[in-house]
Amino acid sequence: MALSAQQISRWLNSSKLSSFMTALQLRRRFQRPGTTLLCGVFAQPRVSSEGCFLQWGFRTYRTSSLWNSSKSADSSRQEINCAQSTLLPSVNEPSQRTPKIPSLDSELSLEGLDDVPPLSPLQPISDDEAVQIIAGPPLPPSSVTLRDYVDHSETLRKLVLLGVDLSKIEKHPDAANLLLRLDFERDIKQMLLFLKDLGIEDTQLGPLLTKNYAIFSEDLENLKTRVAYLQSKNFSKVDIAQMVRNAPFLLSFSVERLDNRLGFFQKELELSVKKTRDLVIRLPRLLTGSLEPVKENMKVFRLELGFQQNEIQHMITKIPKMLTANKRKLTETFDYVHNVMCVPHRVVVRSPQVFNTRLFKVKERHLFLAYLGRAQYDPTKPNYISLDKLVSVPDGIFCEAMAKASVRDFEKFLKTL
């Protein structure tokens, strides 16, 4: 006897329901001890293309373990809920209500909170929970100042606390990008400990890192190797710390370059090892700066100013800055002292501090002494005026000890110039 389409549909629905209930009972029977399955069935009729058969979808939700006294009561309540949820709606009955997903807050007891697994970022949340999420301000995709990134970067915040001037670093885009990629614990902390162990004080870290921010891109082992090289050349730890403070880029140069620089000054200036070491300790920029000014000034001393090699050695060991001074300043100062003040070479060699003084100061004091008739710079004659004292002592001592006049008289004289 042929069956109608309606009878076939009912038979299929009954068969699916029976299979589902059997699977549900087996799952409940063989579940792990201490674990409860909350069964939620989402049944929504979907008519196939021919309009004859219905398809049903099912979902299951698992919660964490329920323990002790709450286990039996919750299990019985869940069985009732499961049985009710498995009742399939009629074909003619519209399915508009969405089944309620069991809530973790309502089902779990306080004893089971420790066993709740961490929430997955892919776990769906309700609209009310989504609205309560407070997101921080977005990270700027690009900016002309590092100030916009300080609130987002722990590294930048800690560098600011150390005294690093980000306003100077941000002028170099590559440096700004470097700092934003660094992790304080991984990339910076060990570098700071290394510098402190070297002898750099906390208050000196900020200015040093502001000038040489590129030190963070250096390998720590390379820095230790460079320090070890300097120590092998009999530079003490105190000397190295002083050199690094005065020349922050010193440790950014390779051992080969440091060795070549020390060899150049020892050979070019014909200095001993000890004098070469003392020279670079007092002016470590000689190891990091360009050699062109040094070579140019050596020619000026020999060819234009007429000093001998031993005289040059004596002057630069007393005033190392003469090696990197402006060429025009050197020639103008020597021209005034030698040709106007009539100071011979041998006296200038004994007082090289005059090359490290502003020329207008030398002129003012010389003219005042000449006005008083006391401009006498020959050490073999009476009333000798030392060039070093002439340019180094304050106005009060100059007027009282050398000019034998008052400061007011000196100030009145300067107004006449």
**If you average pLDDT over every residue of the chain, what do you get?**
76
Residue 349's closest CA among 320, 381, 316, 392?
316
* pLDDT band at residue 87 under the 50/70/90 scheme: very low
- With a threshold of 0.75, does the pTM exceed it? no
Q: Which residues contact 62 (CB under 8 A, 6 or more apart)?
A: 37, 38
Q: What is the arithmetic mean of pLDDT over 258-266?
A: 94
Contact 348, 354 (CB under 8 A): yes
Encoded amino acid at 265, one letter: F
> What is the full DSSP assignment across 34-94?
T--EEP------EE-TTSS-EE-----EE-----THHHHHHHHHHHHHHHHHTPPPPSSS-
Selected residue with higher pLDDT from 378 and 10: 378
Residue 322 has pLDDT above 60, yes or no: yes
* Cα–Cα distance, 11 to 6 (Å, whole number): 9
Q: What is the arithmetic mean of pLDDT over 366-382?
A: 93
Selected residue with higher pLDDT from 59 and 231: 231
Q: What is the arithmetic mean of pLDDT over 22-34?
A: 49
Tokens of 165: 């001037």
Q: Is the sign of the CA dihedral 122, 127, 128, 131 positive or negative?
A: positive
pLDDT digits (tens, 9 = 90+) for 330-367: 999 999 999 999 999 999 999 999 999 999 999 999 99
DSSP state of 213: G
Q: What are phi and psi of 38, to 5 degrees?
A: -100, 120
Of 50-59, 202-211, 257-266, the range with the lowest mean pLDDT is 50-59
Contact 303, 310 (CB under 8 A): no
Model pLDDT, residue 260: 95
* Cα–Cα distance, 279 to 328 (Å, whole number): 23
Angle between helices 173-181 and 154-162 (to 10 degrees): 110
Selected residue with higher pLDDT from 64 and 183: 183
Residue 417's closest CA among 334, 361, 333, 335?
361
Q: Is the sign of the CA dihedral 9, 13, 16, 22 positive or negative?
A: negative
* Cα–Cα distance, 283 to 144 (Å, whole number): 36
Residue 60's closest CA among 44, 45, 42, 72?
42
Identity of the highest mean pLDDT range in 141-155, 170-184, 260-274: 260-274
Residue with tokens 């162990």: 197
Model pLDDT, residue 58: 38
Rg of the chain (C-alpha set): 44
Residue 114 has pLDDT above 70, yes or no: no
**Pairing assessment for the beta strands 54-55 and 46-47 based on DSSP bridges:** antiparallel
Residue 391's closest CA among 404, 402, 382, 406?
402
